[in-house]
Amino acid sequence: MCGIVGYAGPRDAQQVLIDGLQRLEYRGYDSAGIAVVNEEESLQVFKDEGDVTKLTGSMPVIEGHIGIGHTRWATCGKPSKENAHPMIDCENCIALVHNGIIENRAELRDRLENEGHIFTSETDTEVLVHLLEEYYDGNLRSALARALEDVKGTYAVAAVRKGSNEIVAARKENPLIVGLGSEENFIASDVTAVLNYTNKVIYIEDGEILTLTPSGVEIFNDKGEKINKDYITIPWTAEDAQKGGFEHYMLKEIFEQPLAIHNSLLGNFDKIMSSDFLSSQDFSSVKLIACGTSYNASLVGKYAIEYLAGIPVTVELASECRYSSETREDPLVILVTQSGETADTLAAARLAKKRGHRTLAVTNVVGSTITREVDNVLYTQAGPEIGVAATKTYVTQLMAMYMLALKLGKSRTLRRDEIHRYTHGLKSMPRTVSNVLAKSDEISEAVGMLTNAQSAFFLGRHINYPTMLEGALKLKEISYIHAEGYAAGELKHGPLALLDSNTPTVAACVWDMSYEKMLSAISEVAARDSPVLGIGIEGDRDLEAIVDRIISIPEVEGILSPIPLTVAVQLIAYHTARKRGCPIDRPKNLAKSVTVD
């Protein structure tokens, strides 16, 4: 989950690398470093524990036009200066950065130490730079290819050598892109690192290895054959990935949700509704596979698809999917991943294809790995998301679930007037969400009951049970308050024992089939002295009478209520974390894209 950036061209490499690392900090911020080949053809390396700001505050000027950089999220070896990348060989000639896990690191390290190599870190990455040193015979790309033959594991890796104007790089199951400029070229883990300089990007695929210089890029396949690849023009701009006057990226991205919903509808609705891929009747069930926030979106998808299309749906954690047994069913498999690079979800996609299932990916990133692993792709079109806690990407995943459910329902169960009603509801969502956003200050005042809590409960029923799972996850991620989401009917089966005046509850109660049961559950909670923050439909006096504070959302179809409710719980989590002084965009121990399993 670390961030890699590299530059070769006429600019000051140090500044380009620092700029790229700052844009990649959502991928890791335990430590950071850069390596630059300077004008005297020596190799200068500077790295430190902490974020990029700390690095830049203590780093001297390093002159040169070729270099690599890295911001780390620790997986092997604690955060420290010694474990920060780049890693250096014994002769201080080669510098290397790496994202991934080397599974046979112990075996390789023993071998290399027996051959006289001196290790200075606890990381798995360091074996790679010593392997390069071992195999270097004048051709750095060949040395990297030989080194990677010894490696078991996953990687995106880049290296430079003093006296050279080239960067060599390779990938296996970790993202790596090339940015194409005019007499300058870039590598990075993510397009956001290069958008200041170019929007022309080549996605490197598993097994490929490349050499990058100021004048060009040469890419080779796993057989060592040179290949030609077309670039993709990224529609985002550098400004899209900036804070735009907001205090945090997360708040900016919460407020971008009306536009994200509009763009998702504009880019997908007509295409999905006319798609042949989902029109056939040759699958009798749907399986949704995802991790984290995407898993919660998939749970909403289960309710929506079963309600609107009458098709049985199962939802599986991608990390558990690899251990599942093959059954006689032949479902449509939908894989949901914001980045398109989530390691567990990619593994699940490959397993589904191996079993002969039809596959559809729901992702936000054009050209990401999963788009090349599946039969069809639905892009959520949320735009770049920098905050580690997913907001607009989650809401557009919900929109994708509803559009898929409506399409499946159209060919199976829904009448024309029902299709029209739900379509109108979806197309009204930008305005509905804007109405919730207008209550941000009111929500900020309402979260006082959460600010000093050690634990909190989030309660919902039916389609808003997963909505409250997402609310609890958001609170945990950015405020560090222990929070649990529960189906309200489960209160009597354990959670009631934990409720008291120090344990607040957030409860979603909308006008749908679960309304009366939710009112009863909230009354039970209030009877145990738990402070209750209710989220319900504007004008609901019955709910207002039994809660301590209420946040109102516009009236919508009950089945569509997760969208405005989600925005409310996002704002609850944000304002709680802000009042607690937490690092909202960079929560501890977390990174944006989980590319290791």
pLDDT in the model for residue 249 = 87
pLDDT in the model for residue 585 = 84
Report the candidate in 156, 68, 6 with the shortest Cα–Cα distance to residue 595.
156
pLDDT in the model for residue 481 = 95
CB 20 within 8 A of CB 202: no
The residues spanned by each domain of the chain are 3-237, 243-427, 438-584
* Residues of the chain under the 70 pLDDT cut: 1, 40, 238-241, 243-244, 280-281, 589-597
pLDDT in the model for residue 315 = 97
CATH topology (fold) of 243-427: Rossmann fold (3.40.50)
pLDDT in the model for residue 152 = 92
State the residue for tokens 């959502």: 26
pLDDT in the model for residue 1 = 62
Active site residue 582: no
Q: Judge if 243-427 and 438-584 fold alike in CATH terms.
A: yes
Q: Class of the 3-237 domain?
A: alpha beta
Cα torsion at 128, 88, 69, 11 (round to 10°)?
-120
Which of 47, 172, 410, 592 is catalytic? The answer is 592
pLDDT in the model for residue 385 = 87
Write out the H or E segment, with its range, that includes residue 154: strand 153-161
Cα–Cα distance, 104 to 359 (Å, whole number): 32
CB 218: neighbour CB atoms within 10 A?
A: 15
pLDDT in the model for residue 74 = 77
pLDDT in the model for residue 240 = 67
Pairing type for strands 549-553 and 532-537 reads parallel
Which pairs from 265-269 meet CB under 8 Å and 24+ separation?
A: 265/399, 265/403, 265/426, 265/427, 265/429, 266/381, 267/379, 267/381, 268/378, 268/379, 268/381, 268/399, 268/400, 268/403, 269/403, 269/423, 269/426, 269/427
- Report pLDDT digits (tens) over 343-399: 899 999 999 999 999 999 999 988 888 998 999 999 999 988 888 889 999 999 999
CATH number, span 438-584 = 3.40.50.10490
What is the 3-class SS of 18-82, one letter each residue? Answer: HHHHHHCHHHCCCEEEEEEECCCCCEEEEEEECCHHHHHHHCCCCCCCEEEEEEECCCCCCCCCC
Report the candidate in 508, 554, 549 with the shortest Cα–Cα distance to residue 532.
549
Active site residue 509: no
pTM over 0.85: no
307 three-state secondary structure: helix
Cα–Cα distance, 168 to 217 (Å, whole number): 10
